[in-house]
Chain A
């Protein structure tokens, strides 16, 4: 009999980046890199677990923007081109490194992985969402939704209809894609502000997750800390993040990904090799970029890195998985005695940490899941809805406003470099509400309805927290600034055109074609 539960949660998200008007668009690589390095390796882990009959449980959020991009024909076409170029480059690398066996092995490893990635991509009909859906239908994966475009809810407090639109658009999108209702929601950046849960409830959502202090600073005091979920007054459950298990993976001091045998993220042949040679595989303007082929391990802090050794890295990943499990067992045993009840450890991570940043991450996850399944009896993997089904009685607490960002609140998205956006986002939101009030009672004809729906799309796209996040980091901000302004401008023009009954159909078609997310959107959800 187990003494507690471990709930692993991966949050997968990328903002909607799709530029049909350009042949090559650098920021689309965010998606292609994450596909090759994170989503496909995770899919392979799940496939192997299932074929070895390991009955695992994992929770993953797939944001509506990510799902939309993964299912988009144009981006699928472009991914195929992208992976084919990588295969070509890896072939060249196998040849180039012929006299350097330590690199030649790695070039062959990358070549095999790129072929494998293309193979997985083709096997799932070019839409990786179908893979995740299959694991959910098999009962091993619980897919949860997120804000439609990952808007940061606490900074929409003055425009609640936008939170409602973010949640409802996401919930109906989820239902259409997965053929069932979303049970849980990953709040963008874990941003919670009471009583947003009332809106989640309207959309039929049963639970969400917050950072530790969301629950620990909730009122009244949570009897079991973050080790049991609580119910908000609305009846929606809230699960709190356990920071001890987070720290083991995230911490720059003791975190696993910093181990010296693991692969170094920052040494990529896109930057290391001769310009003329690498030129066809970097940006057409000649800007060097990461290719994904990286030959070194973390080693020390200087530039003299040692070549990566996949066997050592694999052994270390197994050891780290064992260490993680041991610590959870100890944690659960201790808590079980203290609480007189089976504790729940919720460990959420950014999915893109696994594979993209921490190359061995998917392997670590694979080892961890197997070890938990075969080697011990103290902890059991569980999903939030399973936990709630088994433990329906929980304390009622109002969680505290919180996020999992820098300093735990809103500062990452509200500082000198990005605070200017809210003046415009809020105004656009108020105008959207005004449009809904004005038009929703009458039957709207084709063109007007199209304009209203597109206005909501533009508003949602402007609200992605990613733009403020990138501005907040202070590096490479121009794209984020441009996207924010562009969607605001489109929204403002649509608003003027709708109000004056002068919708420019040609232009509307253009932006519908470009910002084509959520084809079934209904503007009336924004109220």
Chain B
């Protein structure tokens, strides 16, 4: 299945990205502030609850239409860049076989000694013309990749990427250029307006409250530490950063278990028009005069008088099973 392969590829990439980022962006990861951390615990909870809306196992069912596969691509050279969060971008692209063939024809053997790279440009506050970026960095990728997560380390900035070839002599050939995106900032804005001036300490207080730290929370470093402590002791942190799924996976402890319950089935038959009671309560007969009752059977003794009265109320029969259940 193409799609499975695709997902696997994606996962591999994430793992690769995580690995590389754990070296390079280790510092950035440590800088994660408490409010972010708290946000994550809330997020996990909300995701888990929202997921229960869709809580069903999957039955094996036939597809309702002849399965068709959606296309791999659309036969064009195209790259799209999206913002995942203040630090990370996602790029996907398609480069046609014809484009590769042209490059091969143009470059000859050099093509094979060139590296496929994503060149990431910081294009904040400029009109990008291909050579005026504030800075850029390259990520080496394999030829088959068609999407990538990019750690920019730069919240609040504008980005554009090229997917292209870096030749052995260092020259870069752009194959496709993406759209430009802007990452959100990771904290409050430094811009204030005169008309709505606010003292720093008051804003800090409101800022903390906005994130749910309560009115008694000390502002600034103090509350950050406090939240970090609370957060790390909650156990919820274990799932953050280690798994890409926010829904708590059941902890793999030894959880062997067994449940045994008992039920009692009482059944019988009489004239279809008779009146029947069981323990004094009327029951409904099937059209053929039979009946079946099913009871959860707790420990102890149950006396179950079953009484049938003929439709003309002349005759009555009573049969009384007595059942004792004990659990050892």
Contact of B53 with A30 in the complex, beta carbons under 8 Å = yes
Query: Complex formed: what's the CA distance from A221 to B107 in Å?
Result: 53
Contact of A473 with B247 in the complex, beta carbons under 8 Å = yes
Query: Complex formed: what's the CA distance from A96 to B297 in Å?
Result: 9
Would you list 15 pairs from A and B whose C-beta atoms are within 8 A, ordered by A residue?
Answer: A99-B295, A157-B181, A216-B211, A221-B192, A225-B203, A226-B210, A287-B59, A338-B205, A338-B206, A339-B206, A406-B40, A406-B43, A426-B80, A478-B58, A486-B65
Nearest A residue to B198 by beta-carbon distance?
Answer: A223
Nearest Cβ distance between residue A99 and chain B, in whole angstroms?
6
Nearest B residue to A420 by beta-carbon distance?
Answer: B6
Contact of B202 with A481 in the complex, beta carbons under 8 Å = no
Please give, as numbers and ranges, the residues of chain A lying within 8 Å of B14 by CB-CB distance: 415-416
* A234 interfacial by beta-carbon distance below 8 Å: no
Given the interface pairs A96-B263, A419-B92, A426-B80, the reply to whether A243 lies near B210 with Cβ below 8 Å is yes
Nearest Cβ distance between residue A267 and chain B, in whole angstroms?
11
Please give, as numbers and ranges, the residues of chain A lying within 8 Å of B10 by CB-CB distance: 415-417, 419-420
Contact of A289 with B57 in the complex, beta carbons under 8 Å = yes
* B302 interfacial by beta-carbon distance below 8 Å: yes
- Could you mark each residue 180-213 of chain B with 1 if its beta carbon is under 8 Å from any beta carbon of chain A, else 0? 0111111111011101111000110111011111
- Could you mark each residue 153-184 of chain B with 1 if its beta carbon is under 8 Å from any beta carbon of chain A, else 0? 00000000000000000000000000101111
Query: Complex formed: what's the CA distance from A64 to B196 in Å?
Result: 38
Nearest Cβ distance between residue B135 and chain A, in whole angstroms?
22
Please give, as numbers and ranges, the residues of chain A lying within 8 Å of B52 by CB-CB distance: 265, 352, 356-357
Say which residue of B7, B184, B205, B247 sits within 8 Å of A416 (CB atoms): B7
Query: Complex formed: what's the CA distance from A29 to B58 in Å?
Result: 13
B82, B205, B247, most chain A CB atoms within 10 A? B82
- Could you mark each residue 459-479 of chain A with 1 if its beta carbon is under 8 Å from any beta carbon of chain B, else 0? 000000010011011111011
Query: Complex formed: what's the CA distance from A272 to B30 in Å?
Result: 45
* A212 interfacial by beta-carbon distance below 8 Å: yes
Please give, as numbers and ranges, the residues of chain A lying within 8 Å of B209 by CB-CB distance: 225, 227, 244, 331, 335
Contact of A352 with B53 in the complex, beta carbons under 8 Å = yes
- Could you mark each residue 247-264 of chain A with 1 if its beta carbon is under 8 Å from any beta carbon of chain B, else 0? 100111101000000000
Given the interface pairs A26-B59, A96-B263, A251-B41, the reply to whether A409 lies near B215 with Cβ below 8 Å is no
Contact of A400 with B45 in the complex, beta carbons under 8 Å = no
Nearest B residue to A29 by beta-carbon distance?
Answer: B56
Please give, as numbers and ranges, the residues of chain B lying within 8 Å of A416 by CB-CB distance: 7, 10-11, 13-14, 244
Nearest A residue to B181 by beta-carbon distance?
Answer: A157
* A383 interfacial by beta-carbon distance below 8 Å: no
Contact of A406 with B44 in the complex, beta carbons under 8 Å = yes
Given the interface pairs A215-B210, A419-B10, the reply to whether A26 lies near B82 with Cβ below 8 Å is no
* A155 interfacial by beta-carbon distance below 8 Å: yes
Contact residues of A with B, CB < 8 Å? Answer: 14, 19, 21-22, 26-27, 29-30, 34, 92, 95-100, 103, 154-155, 157-158, 193, 212-213, 215-227, 240, 242-247, 250-253, 255, 265, 274, 277, 283, 285, 287-290, 303, 330-331, 334-335, 338-339, 350, 352-353, 356-357, 395-396, 400-402, 404-412, 414-417, 419-420, 422-424, 426-427, 466, 469-470, 472-476, 478-479, 481-482, 485-486, 488-489, 492
Nearest Cβ distance between residue A37 and chain B, in whole angstroms?
10
* B28 interfacial by beta-carbon distance below 8 Å: no
Nearest B residue to A480 by beta-carbon distance?
Answer: B54
Contact of A485 with B70 in the complex, beta carbons under 8 Å = yes
Beyond A21-B64, A406-B43, A476-B56, 4 additional contacts (C-beta under 8 Å) are A26-B59, A274-B263, A356-B52, A407-B39
* B316 interfacial by beta-carbon distance below 8 Å: no
Please give, as numbers and ranges, the residues of chain A lying within 8 Å of B193 by CB-CB distance: 220-221, 395-396
Nearest Cβ distance between residue A419 and chain B, in whole angstroms?
6
Given the interface pairs A350-B49, A476-B56, the reply to whether A99 lies near B302 with Cβ below 8 Å is yes
Nearest Cβ distance between residue A266 and chain B, in whole angstroms?
9
Say which residue of A220, A402, A420 sits within 8 Å of B189 (CB atoms): A220
Query: Complex formed: what's the CA distance from A334 to B59 in Å?
Result: 53
- Could you mark each residue 132-149 of chain B with 1 if its beta carbon is under 8 Å from any beta carbon of chain A, else 0? 000000000000000100
Contact of B47 with A406 in the complex, beta carbons under 8 Å = yes
Nearest Cβ distance between residue A10 and chain B, in whole angstroms?
13
Contact of A217 with B83 in the complex, beta carbons under 8 Å = no
Contact of A404 with B191 in the complex, beta carbons under 8 Å = no
Nearest Cβ distance between residue B38 and chain A, in whole angstroms?
8
Say which residue of B182, B202, B203, B246 sits within 8 Å of A406 (CB atoms): B246
Query: Complex formed: what's the CA distance from A401 to B7 in Å?
Result: 27
Nearest A residue to B183 by beta-carbon distance?
Answer: A401
Interface residues of B in 6-29 (CB under 8 A from A): 6-7, 10-11, 13-14
Nearest Cβ distance between residue A5 and chain B, in whole angstroms?
16
Please give, as numbers and ranges, the residues of chain A lying within 8 Å of B196 by CB-CB distance: 220-223, 395
* B42 interfacial by beta-carbon distance below 8 Å: yes
Nearest B residue to A331 by beta-carbon distance?
Answer: B215
Query: Complex formed: what's the CA distance from A67 to B51 in Å?
Result: 21
Query: Complex formed: what's the CA distance from A474 to B197 in Å?
Result: 46
Say which residue of A21, A338, A423, A486 sits within 8 Å of B92 (CB atoms): A423
Interface residues of B in 65-105 (CB under 8 A from A): 65, 68-71, 73-74, 80, 82-86, 88, 90, 92, 94
Query: Complex formed: what's the CA distance from A461 to B257 in Å?
Result: 43
Please give, as numbers and ranges, the residues of chain B lying within 8 Å of A289 by CB-CB distance: 56-57
Please give, as numbers and ranges, the residues of chain A lying within 8 Å of B211 by CB-CB distance: 212-213, 216, 243
Please give, as numbers and ranges, the residues of chain A lying within 8 Å of B195 by CB-CB distance: 395
Nearest Cβ distance between residue A485 and chain B, in whole angstroms?
5
Query: Complex formed: what's the CA distance from A409 to B197 in Å?
Result: 28
* B61 interfacial by beta-carbon distance below 8 Å: yes
* B234 interfacial by beta-carbon distance below 8 Å: yes
Contact of B56 with A217 in the complex, beta carbons under 8 Å = no
Nearest Cβ distance between residue B70 and chain A, in whole angstroms?
5
Please give, as numbers and ranges, the residues of chain A lying within 8 Å of B257 by CB-CB distance: 303
Query: Complex formed: what's the CA distance from A333 to B231 in Å?
Result: 28
Contact of A409 with B85 in the complex, beta carbons under 8 Å = yes
* B294 interfacial by beta-carbon distance below 8 Å: yes
Contact of B80 with A407 in the complex, beta carbons under 8 Å = no
Given the interface pairs A416-B13, A486-B65, the reply to whether A401 lies near B184 with Cβ below 8 Å is yes
Please give, as numbers and ranges, the residues of chain A lying within 8 Å of B183 by CB-CB distance: 401
Given the interface pairs A244-B214, A303-B259, A330-B215, the reply to whether A96 lies near B90 with Cβ below 8 Å is no
Say which residue of B13, B181, B206 sits within 8 Å of A227 (CB atoms): B206
Contact of A158 with B56 in the complex, beta carbons under 8 Å = no
* B298 interfacial by beta-carbon distance below 8 Å: yes
Contact of A414 with B82 in the complex, beta carbons under 8 Å = yes
Contact of A353 with B49 in the complex, beta carbons under 8 Å = yes
